[in-house]
Structure 1
Amino acid sequence: MEVSRRTGVLFVFIAAVLYSIGGLCIKVIPWSGIAINGGRTAIALVVIGAFLAATKHPPRLNRWIFLGAVCVFGTNLLYAVANKLTTAANTIVLQFTAPIFVIVFSLLFWHKRPRRLDLIACAVVFGGVLFFFVDSLEMGGGLGNFLALLSGVSYAGVFLMNDMPDSDALSSVFWGEVLSSVTGLPFLIQETEFPPTAILSLVVLGVFQVALAYILLAIGLKTTPPVMASLVSGIEPVLNPILVAVFYQEYMGPFALIGAAVVIVGVVGYNVIQARQGAKV
C-alpha cells in the first residue's frame, strides 16, 4: 500500500492515538502485565494475519526483520509490565525517551546527523512531557520505571524498522506479535479471574491498540522519517494519562495541563515548519 508523505504522517498520528488507550485498558484488567500482553497480542496476531492475507503480503523473515520483531516484542512486553509496576504517567513519559534514542541510533548506525530542527523539537517535546508529569514522575529507580525506560529504547527500534537493510515493517510486526503471544499466553492461562470488563478491554487492546495501530504505523513509516514519526507520536503521552485520570482516577495537577500544551505545540509546530521547508530527513 503506497501512501503520500502527508497520509503517512496522518497514519502515524492515528496510530499514536490508538496506542494511548493502552494505559487505561491495562489498568482495568486484573492480570499480570505479561499475561495481558500475551492475550492482547494473540488477538492482534489474528487481525494482522488477516490483513496480510487480504493484502497478499506474506510475512518475510531475515535477520533485520527479526531485529525489528524483537523491538516490537520488547516494546509490547516492557510497556505492559511497567504499567502494572508504576503509574501510567511514569510509564509513558519514560517510554517517550524514544525520539532521543532514534536520533542516537540514527547517528551511530546510519551516520545520519540530526538537523537543528530535529534537536530543537526533541528538546521541546521531551521537556513538555517531563513538565506534563512533574507532579507524578518518580525517578527513584524502581523496577517499573527502569522497564519503562527500556521500552523507550525498544520503541526507538520500532520507528527505525524501515531504515534497516532489506526490511519489511509489516513482517516485523507480525513476528513481533508471534513472540509476544508465545511468551505471554502461558501466563494468561494461569489467571483465575475473567470478568467481562477485562475480556472487553483485552479485545480493545488486541484489535485497536496493537493490531490496527501497528498496521497504520508500519504503513506510515514507509514515507515518514523516523525522527518525525517519533515526534508526531508525542500526542500519545498526553492522551494516555488523561484517559487514565478520567476513567481510573489517576489525576493530574496544573503542571500537567501546561505540559500537554507544550507537547501539542511542539509537535504541531515541528510539522508546520517541516511542511514549509519541504525538507527531507
Structure 2
Amino acid sequence: MSPVSHTRGLVEVAVASVLWGTGGLAVQLVRAAEPMSPVTISAWRMALAAAVLLVALVLLRRGGELVDLARMQPARLLAVGVGTAAYQGFYFVSVTQVGVAVSTVVSLGLAPVLLTVAEAVRHRRLPATGRLVVLAAALVGLLLVSIAGHASSTGPDPVAGVLLAVASGTTYALTTVAGGSISRTSSPLALTTGMTLVGAAVLLPCLALVDGPRTTGDPAALAWLAYLGVLTMALAYVLLYSGLRVVAPSTAVTASLVEPVTAAVVAAVVLQEALGPAAVIGILLVLGAVAGLGRPSAAAGPVLPELRPTGT
C-alpha cells in the first residue's frame, strides 16, 4: 500500500474524530432545549443516522450491498452494531458514576493500549520504538486534556464508574477490530447503514427504561438531533470504516484521541472555557502523536494493503 493511501485513511479517521468531538456540545444544546437523557439522545442519534443512510443507499441504488452484507456476515454485523451501542452506553453511565475526566481517560486510553499489545502478541514482536513513542505521547496528551478540562468532576461510585469505563474501552477496541475486518470486503456505506440499524434496534427499546422526555417538538432540539445523527454518526462512521480499510485498528483508535482535543477546543471557542497550560500541552501532544501516525513506520499497528470492497 502506498503512503498516500495510509495518510488518506488516517485523515478520514481524524475527521471522524473531529465530528465526534463536536457531539458533546450538540448534546448539551439538545438538553438545553429539551431535558432528554443521554441514552434517549443516543437512541435517536442512531435511528436518525440509520434513516439517512437507508435513503442514501436507495437513492444511489446500492441497497443490494446491505442485503449482501447481512447475508454473508450477519454475526459480525450484529457484533459491530451491538458493540457500538454498548460502548457508548457504558461510557455515558460511567460518566455519571466517576466523572468525565476518568471515564474519558480510561475508555479512550485503554483501547489503543489493548490493540497495540494484541498486535504485538499476534505478530510475536515488540512494537517499534516509534510506535511506542507515538502511543505514549497520545496517552499523556489525553490525560492532560481530560484532567485540565474536568478537574473537579467526580461521581457517586468511582469503582463502578471505572469498571464501566474499562468495559467501554474494551468494547470499543473489539468493535473497531470487527468493523475493520468487515470494511475490508464491504463498502463503508453499507457497513455503517447495517451497524446503525442494529444499534437503533438495541437502543430504541431502552427509551422505556429512562427518565425524562422521549420525544421533542422543539425546533432547536430537533436541529441538533439531526446534526448528531447525520454528521457525528452517519458521516463520521462512514469515514471511520473507510479509513479502517487501509489503517490498522490500533492506528485508528490512537488517531481517535483527536475527539477529546476537539471537544476541548470547541468548548474554549463556543463556551468561552479557558484552556490552561496543561490542556494546551495535551492538545499539542495528541496532535503531534496523530501527525506521527502519518509515517507508516511509526503507525500504531501494521500498514495494511488497500483492498477494494465488494459492491463498489
**Normalization by structure 2: what TM-score?**
0.74
Does residue 35 of the first structure (1) align with residue 49 of the second (2)?
A: no
Q: Which of structures 1 and 2 has the bigger CA Rg?
A: 2
- Which of residues 63, 76, 79 is equivalent to 2:88? 76
After superposition, the Cα gap between the structure-2 partners of 1:212 and 1:186, relative to the gap in structure 1 and judged at 3 Å, is farther
Deviation at 1:259, TM superposition (A): 0.8
Deviations 1:222-278 (A, max 9, x none): 1111121112222112111222344346554321111111111111123236389xx
- In structure 1, stretches of 5+ residues that fail to align are none
**Range that drifts further, 188-197 or 145-154:** 188-197
Distance (Å, rounded) in 2 between the aligned partners of 1:113 and 1:206: 41
State the Cα distance separating 1:96 from its structure 2 match. 1.5
Residue identity in the other structure for 2:76 = W
The yes-or-no answer on 1:225 pairing with 2:248 is yes
For residues 185 and 175 of structure 2, the distance between their equivalents in structure 1, rounded to whole angstroms, comes to 12
Q: Give the superposed CA RMSD.
A: 3.4
Q: In 2, distance between residues paired with 1:126 and 1:8? A: 21
Cross-structure match for 1:155: 172
Is the 1:36–1:80 Cα contact (8 Å) retained in structure 2? no
Any idea what the Cα deviations from partners look like across 1:197-235, whole Å, max 9, x if unmatched?
Answer: 322221111110111101111121111111211122221
Structure 1 length normalisation: TM-score?
Answer: 0.81
The alpha carbon displacement at 1:103 in A equals: 2.2
Hey, what does 1:132 align to over in structure 2?
145
Q: Which residue does 1:123 correspond to in 2?
A: 136
Moved more, 194-203 or 260-269: 194-203
Query: What is the distance in 2 between the residues matched to 1:84 and 1:16?
Result: 23
Alignment of 1:1-281 (within 5 A): 4-28=5-29, 29=31, 30-53=35-58, 54=60, 55-56=62-63, 57-58=65-66, 59-60=69-70, 61-82=73-94, 88-97=100-109, 98-106=111-119, 110=122, 113=125, 115-116=127-128, 117-135=130-148, 136-137=150-151, 141=158, 144=161, 146-161=163-178, 162-163=180-181, 170=191, 173-186=195-208, 191=213, 194=216, 195-248=218-271, 251-272=274-295, 274=297, 280=303
Q: Secondary structure at the match of 1:4?
A: helix
Measure the CA separation in 2 of the matches of 1:85 and 1:48. Answer: 34
CA drift of 1:44 comes to 0.8
Change (3 A) 1:233 1:253: same
Residues 166, 124 of structure 1: alpha-carbon distance in 2 compared, 3 angstrom cutoff: closer
Deviates more, 1:178-187 or 1:66-75: 178-187
The answer (yes or no) to whether the contact 1:88–1:240 under 8 Å persists in 2 is: no
Q: C-alpha separation between the residues in 2 aligned to 1:174 and 1:132? A: 30
Instruction: Give the Cα–Cα distance (whole angstroms) in 1 for the partners of residues 293 and 184 of structure 2.
Output: 30
Give the Cα separation in 2 of the matches to 1:163 and 1:88.
31
Structure 1 residue 146: Cα displacement: 4.5
The total of aligned residue pairs comes to: 276
Per-residue deviation, residues 33-92 of structure 1 (Å, max 9, x unmatched): 111111111101112223444334214142233222222111332344455666555543
Judged with a 3 Å threshold, the aligned counterparts in structure 2 of structure 1 residues 271 and 244 are, in CA distance, closer, same or farther, namely same
Distance 1:275 1:118 in 2: 5
For structure 2, the residue ranges without an aligned partner over 5 or more in a row are 305-312
Tell me the distance in 1 between the aligned counterparts of 2:278 and 2:239: 32
The 8 Å contact of residues 142 and 282 in structure 2, kept in 1 or not, is answered as yes
Structure-1 separation of matches of 2:298 and 2:113: 22
Separation (CA, whole Å) in 2 of partners of 1:23 and 1:112:
39
Aligned-partner Cα distance in 1 for 2:183–2:118 = 15
> % of aligned pairs identical?
27
Offset of 1:12 from its aligned partner? 1.1
